[in-house]
Amino acid sequence: MRGVTDIPLIQFSSLLPAGSHPKRPFNLVALCLNRTLGDFAVGLGFAASIKRLFDHARLAVYFHDDRPYKRPLIEACPDIDVLFEYDPKQMMPFEAFDSAFGGPVTVPDPRWTDNRFHFADLVLTPSMMLDKFFCNFEQPARLRIPPEDVPVLEERLIAAGVDPKRWFTVLHYREPGYGERPADPLRDLDPAVLQEVSNAIIDGLGGQVVRVGHPGMAPFKARDSFIDLAPLDGNDFMLQLFAMSRARFMVAGASGPHNCAAALGTPTGIFASTSRYGVWNGADAQLHSHIFTPNGERVDPGFALEREIHTGVILQEYIRRGYRVRLASGAEIFAMAKHLHGQTADTPAWRAHWYEKPVKKPNRFNWPLAAGCRAQNLYFPDLAPKEGEIV
């Protein structure tokens, strides 16, 4: 056709496929509104995992700095491009996503429109950013301690008593006393049991044990190779995160820190889990509680997982119907520690490597996602209790 070669090529970035070009990144807004430690860590990891599906993407995180652990986790998420910290007295309205010019609301922070987040390709809510969906990523994103903070944190961990030439495990478990959290018999374990596990790791495996948690936790008897970070002020959470990132492995009950360790890429073993998705990496492991029928018969562990009986609300209903639950014993928890120790022989001192590999970016995101888990489910029949006890 005459004259076609004279027509200039004019491109408009918004017409390009999202994520295909630096001028047309996949714009992702994560509403990280969770207040609990574990859920907040999972949300950040999930949002970062979505971003890494694209060659070109921008991630905005919207959060409220109302807990001492949120800021350190934010700092440990290098995939965040723009951070929006909201004031609960002046929260961002839904109209911030109005993409028409001259909308009814103007966002005071110019970065919102400068980065075109009002043209978001995906807005993630807390109910979308769940641990059970990590199985959909070939390699979930990993939280990382900021490199500039590492030298000081190394010095502090050494000053606390951790030998830099020897490996260590991080230990955490849930017990009443943190803030206004009530007791939870499905997750709380006697601290004396965990002190026995700590001693067994030190004496039986030759490691060091670093306990993380909060100042209200019951004190352990002082001994060599046991380092307690729990009594530290809540503002020192970054030091606890650093310890989790450098541990050979972590042993933890069902509470927020185990999500943090898994998100950092440290092999994590969890006991007393009230979900089948508490950890998600292939090197992670789960040790679920034991369930007995009203007549004393043990519910097959595989059947319980298939039916997702361990889910908190479901398990409570079984208990109301006369079923009994018994948490893992110290011997079982130590057996899990031995399992994790055996599969981490490549970490004879502080962790300096993580299990990552280059992955292809598909430049797309499918929804809804399937639920699943790559973690190992452990069961030690010889160490399991023979009869139940009412929770």
Q: Does 14-129 match 147-383 in CATH topology?
A: yes
Mean pLDDT (whole number) for 172-197? 86
> Stretch 115-141: mean pLDDT, rounded?
95
Q: Report pLDDT digits (tens) over 274-314.
A: 888 999 999 999 999 999 999 999 999 999 999 999 998 99
Domain 14-129 has CATH 1.20.120: no
What mean pLDDT comes out for the span 33-55?
97
Q: How confident is the model at residue 381 (pLDDT cuts 50, 70, 90)?
A: very high
The 3-class SS string of the chain reads: CCCHHHCCCCCCHHHCCCCCECCECEEEEEECCCCCHHHHHHHHHHHHHHHCCCCCEEEEEEECCCCCCHHHHHHCCCCCCEEEECECCECCCHHHHCCCCCCCCCCCCCHHHHCCHHHCCEEECCCCCCHHHHHHCCCCCCCCCCHHHHHHHHHHHHHCCCCCCCCEEEEECECCCCCCCCCCCCCECCHHHHHHHHHHHHHHHCCEEEECCCCCCCCCCCCCCEEECCCCCHHHHHHHHHHHHHCCEEEEECCHHHHHHHHHCCCEEEECCCCCCCCCCCCCEEECCEEECCCCCECCHHHHHHCCCCCHHHHHHHHHCCCEEECCCHHHHHHHHHHHHHCCCCCCCCCCCCCCCCCCCCCCCCCCCCCCCCCEECCCHHHCCCCCCCC
Instruction: Report domain extents, the chain.
Output: 14-129, 147-383
Note the pLDDT of residue 389.
46
Percent of the chain with pLDDT over 70: 94
Which of the following CATH numbers is that of domain 147-383: 3.40.50, 1.10.3470, 3.90.1280, 3.10.180?
Answer: 3.40.50
> Which pLDDT band, with edges at 50, 70 and 90, does 15 fall under?
confident
Residue 388 has pLDDT above 60, yes or no: no
Lowest mean pLDDT among 42-46, 65-69, 85-89, 364-368: 85-89
Mean pLDDT in residue range 182-205? 93
pLDDT band at residue 390 using 50, 70 and 90 as cut-offs: very low
pLDDT tens string 71-91: 999 999 999 999 999 887 778
Confidence of residue 4 (pLDDT cuts 50, 70, 90): low
With a cut of 90, say whether residue 19 has pLDDT above it: no
Rounded distance between C-alpha atoms, residue 64 and residue 215, angstroms: 24
